[in-house]
């Protein structure tokens, strides 16, 4: 059973702070890792993908991957109230399988 | 609008009725996916098409569910003899590669 675990939150941070979102996965052969943002009542929106160990930066977002620890994280710098949403971690496990396995998501609230 | 579109956006039905949802992917995307999402959970994979071929289907998917993509363009998802447990958001996603999946707005189903 492939599992993706996230702290459901809510995670509250003040405006301008760094928000840190964490995700662990159970399947060691996982290859591709994604972060989606989902506003209430809306569908998931892809914000970051990462495939190799280390950091990947895109604007205010940084994804971090550590395959040895089976851990992936998302940092949001200079958090804004508009970043308030649920952040979903998704993993694609094996070559030839195209499904994504999602965590339950972490709800982030950025307090003005 | 060049994104993934889904119709209808909302569906209310009585238990035991059949329902059908439609997904129109982004035009150049040959990969299409269906997911289901319930409140407080991440999306759960249902099935995957590459062009018109259904290549993956969740083992958790009841035989009351069937999906088609007859010409490799739009797809339909049918649920027969609906049950209250089928109430969920049904999400369609498409992608040009196996890696990045872009979601449509979803169809919210309520079974009374």
The radius of gyration of chain A's CA atoms, rounded to the nearest angstrom, is: 13
CA–CA separation, B5 vs A76, rounded Å?
A: 29
The radius of gyration of chain B's CA atoms, rounded to the nearest angstrom, is: 13
Contacts of B105 in chain A (CB under 8 A): 42-43
Q: Which of A1-5, A71-75, B54-58, B73-77 has the lowest mean pLDDT?
A: A1-5
Six-digit token pair at B57?
């289907």
Comparing B100 with A18, the larger pLDDT belongs to A18
Contacts of A44 in chain B (CB under 8 A): 43, 91, 103
pLDDT in tens, B28-82: 899 999 999 999 999 999 999 999 999 989 887 889 999 999 988 999 999 999 9
pLDDT in tens, A28-60: 888 899 999 999 999 999 999 999 999 999 999
Q: Which DSSP string corresponds to B42-103?
A: --EEEEEEETTEEEEE-TT--TTEEEE-TTSS-EEEEE-S--GGG-EEEEEEEESSSS--EE
For residue B106, give how far its alpha carbon lies from the nearest alpha carbon of chain A (Å): 6
For residue A5, give how far its alpha carbon lies from the nearest alpha carbon of chain B (Å): 11
Largest Cα–Cα separation, chain B: 38
For residue A86, give how far its alpha carbon lies from the nearest alpha carbon of chain B (Å): 10
Q: Nearest Cβ partner of B98 from A4, A43, A98? A: A98
Chain centroid to Cα A44, Å, comes to: 12
Six-digit token pair at A76?
């949001």
CB contact under 8 A, A102 and B101: no
The answer to whether A83 contacts chain B (CB < 8 Å) is: no
CA–CA separation, A20 vs A75, rounded Å?
A: 5
Looking at residue B21, what is its pLDDT?
98
CB contact under 8 A, A90 and B100: no
Cβ atoms of A62 and A77 closer than 8 Å: yes
Nearest CA in chain B to A5: B42
Six-digit token pair at A94?
């094996």
Q: Nearest Cβ partner of A102 from B31, B43, B106? A: B43
Where b means 16+ CB within 10 Å and e means fewer, A66-84 reads ebeebebbbbbeebeeebb
Q: Which of B57, B53, B18, B51 is nearest to B34 (CA)?
A: B57
DSSP 8-state symbol, A28: T
Six-digit token pair at B81?
């003899």
């Amino acid at each position: 059973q492939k599992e993706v675990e996230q702290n459901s939150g809510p995670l509250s941070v003040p405006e301008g702070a760094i928000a840190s979102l964490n995700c662990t996965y159970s399947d060691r052969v996982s290859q591709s890792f994604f972060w989606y943002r989902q506003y209430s009542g809306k569908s998931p929106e892809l914000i970051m993908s990462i495939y190799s160990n280390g950091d990947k930066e895109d604007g205010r977002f940084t994804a971090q991957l550590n395959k040895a620890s089976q851990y992936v994280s998302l940092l949001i710098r200079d958090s804004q109230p508009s970043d308030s949403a649920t952040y979903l971690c998704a993993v694609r496990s094996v070559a030839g399988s195209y499904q994504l396995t999602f965590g339950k998501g972490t709800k982030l609230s950025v307090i003005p | 609008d060049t994104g993934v579109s889904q119709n209808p956006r909302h569906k209310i039905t009585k238990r035991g009725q059949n329902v059908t949802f439609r997904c129109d992917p982004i035009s150049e995307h040959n990969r299409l996916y269906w997911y289901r999402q319930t409140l407080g959970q991440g999306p759960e994979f249902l099935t995957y098409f590459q062009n018109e071929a259904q290549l993956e289907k969740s083992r958790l998917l009841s035989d009351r569910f069937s999906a088609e993509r007859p010409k490799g363009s739009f797809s339909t998802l049918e649920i027969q003899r609906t049950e209250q447990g089928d109430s969920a958001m049904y999400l369609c996603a498409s992608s040009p590669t196996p890696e990045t999946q872009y979601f449509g707005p979803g169809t919210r189903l309520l079974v009374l």
